[in-house]
Structure 1
Amino acid sequence: MRTLVPSRSARSAAAHSPPDCSRVSEVKVLIVGSRSIPSAFQERRTGSAASAPSLHSTGSEDPLADYVRATSSLVRAVTENRIGRVVFQSSVGAEKRHGVGEIDGLAHTETALDDMGVDVTHLRCGYFFTNLEFQLNALRAGTLQVILPLDHPMAWVAPRDIAEVAATRLLSPTWSGRCVQAVHGPTDLTWRQVAEILSAATGRQINVERIPDSAMRTQLHQAGMTDGLVEAVLGMSTGLRENFVPEQRRTIQTTTPTTLAAWAYDHLRHQIVDAS
């Protein structure tokens, strides 16, 4: 079996896969949208593909157009190499299909894979713990600024846990057709709870405040983002803010073990404390 794995969390799965897996599988770490994807499968095998576009770039003029191009590349790779099973790393909110900023790009990829008729599992993932690493300066200053209600609970998940779910699906022979598997992390958290957890894990007092959309838009522009990317990033919050109910509810099957407290202590604490 060959697997196409073009994401940071999937790279983690490849790095931590059991040694015996190398006897039955070959892991390819590639970038979706790259011209190298089809050529990576010159020796055709019927296998599986795990895909997660990583297109977040301050230089992107049109992130959704980037997703369309990346999806075309992925579809071509699956078609030309007769890959019969795909595990796609998507996001909570993709079920809306439109109106959720950059997540609309993931929805486009979901739809394109569904139309291919291959066996496909979409992993609808919660908010990555690692997104906090984009706010290191704010964390060091002691205040996070967000545009979501501070008491609104949402799923938070460690990318490593997503990788393990993806690897399990890739290697499992028990599923077929179209499947949607949510990956929700251990528990839903509000931003107030997140601030409390980060304060305890890092030993620094971290507060959180809600700011207007316009203030966040200004911050993103000042960070060098293009107009298109600013709106795509904002949409990932504003599109899930009003009366959104995830299609996949939390169950024991969607719950993963790594807590934000443990992750923050292991991965975030030193980035905040050592820089002071």
Structure 2
Amino acid sequence: MIVITAPTGKIGHQVLNGVLAGGEKVRVVVRDPARLAPGVREQVEVVQGSHGDPRIVDRAFDGADAVFWLLPGDPHAASVDEAFSGFTRPAAEALRDRGVKRVVDVSGLGRGTAQAGHAGHVTASLAMDDLIAGTGVAFRALAAATFMDNLLRQVEVIKAQGAFFGVLDPGFALPAVATRDIAAVATRLLLDDTWSGREEIPLLGPEDLSNEQMAAIVSEVLGTPVSYRQIPAEALREQLTGLGTSEAMAQAMLDMIAAKENGLDHGVARTPQHAADTPTTFRQWCEEVFRPAMQAA
């Protein structure tokens, strides 16, 4: 039995589809089963509720061989530690109590760098990994670079203004990874019952790109000019808190961005294996994911 948390999210639904295709028995933890894709509900066992609830995870992990752990994200949390380790602590207890053998999660890139201890969301995700690993399960942490798919949040803005916005310097290049590649690695691990021990797997994508370079690629793929516009960090803070994000979580976001500017994502040198694990280029992602999203907007 494989348990999948957050099965309706950006990554989770892709993992769910991949594991179902592998023919394994699947149990999902979901707040609203109606959000499962058509046809999926009949193929899985559903535990309805939050995977931050001790009663829910204790029930969901009963008889499970493997768990895919993915946070739902809580922009209203009082602290970043509460949002990550606080949410995960009941699951860690259930992993021990129920004898789960293997866990795969999605985490942040940067362990071992000087910035890792002051990187907001990433720092909290690494602490979450340590909490899970401390249960004694076989564990793989998928240490992902920035998601290409984050650009989908600005589809309407790009359509209206011909630009997307961010805090990073236009020419500063970072690794970026497609969520479909993250899901493919997670699926492969969940379907493989031969691994053991603890390991962090960096998911870097095939190339580093700056926002300036990304804007040029988006422009070419869409056939219309799109630019990148840098905004002050404080402007982002105001946007986030204006949308209801807590001060603590907004600060954690800014801390993560500052850490990336100072080398957080550059602690791992890309190898051919990294590129093989996450092969989707930004141009390919734009052609196959972003352009259809723009056309549908």
Fold shared per TM-score above 0.5: yes
Q: 2:118, 2:255 within 8 Å by CA — same for their partners in 1?
A: yes
Alpha-carbon distance in structure 2 between the residues aligned to 1:93 and 1:84: 26
Alpha-carbon distance in structure 2 between the residues aligned to 1:121 and 1:151: 33
Within 5 Å, give how 1:8-157 maps onto structure 2.
8=9, 9-17=11-19, 19=21, 21-22=22-23, 24-30=24-30, 32-35=51-54, 36-42=56-62, 44-45=63-64, 47-57=65-75, 59-95=76-112, 96-140=115-159, 141-157=161-177
SS at match of 1:50: strand
Change in 2 beyond 3 A, CA 1:274/1:162: closer
Cα distance, 1:191 vs structure 2: 0.9
Partner amino acid, structure 1, of 2:284: A
Percent identity reads 24
Question: What stretches of structure 2 of length at least 5 have no aligned partner?
Answer: 31-49
SS at match of 1:154: strand
Alpha-carbon distance in structure 2 between the residues aligned to 1:63 and 1:122: 19
Q: 1:136, 1:272 within 8 Å by CA — same for their partners in 2?
A: yes
Tell me the equivalent position of 1:3: 3
Q: 2:57, 2:94 within 8 Å by CA — same for their partners in 1?
A: yes
Within 5 Å, give how 1:209-220 maps onto structure 2.
209-220=229-240
Q: 2:4, 2:12 within 8 Å by CA — same for their partners in 1?
A: no
Tell me the equivalent position of 1:197: 217
* Pairwise CA RMSD: 2.3
1:226 aligned to 2:228?
A: no
SS at match of 1:151: coil
Tell me the equivalent position of 2:260: 240
Alpha-carbon distance in structure 2 between the residues aligned to 1:97 and 1:110: 13
Partner amino acid, structure 2, of 1:82: G
Alpha-carbon distance in structure 1 between the residues aligned to 2:267 and 2:197: 18
SS at match of 2:118: coil
Cα distance, 1:72 vs structure 2: 0.4
Alpha-carbon distance in structure 2 between the residues aligned to 1:265 and 1:223: 30
Partner amino acid, structure 2, of 1:147: V
Change in 2 beyond 3 A, CA 1:10/1:146: same
Change in 2 beyond 3 A, CA 1:246/1:156: same
Partner amino acid, structure 2, of 1:69: G
Cα distance, 1:273 vs structure 2: 4.2
Cα distance, 1:111 vs structure 2: 1.2
User: Could you state the TM-score of these two structures normalised by the residue count of structure 2?
Assistant: 0.81
Alpha-carbon distance in structure 1 between the residues aligned to 2:249 and 2:165: 19
Cα distance, 1:261 vs structure 2: 2.1
Alpha-carbon distance in structure 2 between the residues aligned to 1:247 and 1:175: 25
User: Could you state the TM-score of these two structures normalised by the residue count of structure 1?
Assistant: 0.87
SS at match of 1:89: strand
CA shift digits 1:217-269 (9 cap, x unpaired)? 22323333221221122122112211435443211222212222232233322
SS at match of 2:274: coil
Tell me the equivalent position of 2:287: 265
Partner amino acid, structure 1, of 2:13: R
Q: 1:184, 1:250 within 8 Å by CA — same for their partners in 2?
A: yes
Cα distance, 1:18 vs structure 2: 6.1
Cα distance, 1:66 vs structure 2: 1.9
Change in 2 beyond 3 A, CA 1:66/1:177: same
Cα distance, 1:12 vs structure 2: 0.8
Runs of 4+ in 1 over 4 A off after TM superposition: 94-97
Tell me the equivalent position of 1:172: 192
Partner amino acid, structure 2, of 1:88: D
Alpha-carbon distance in structure 2 between the residues aligned to 1:111 and 1:34: 20
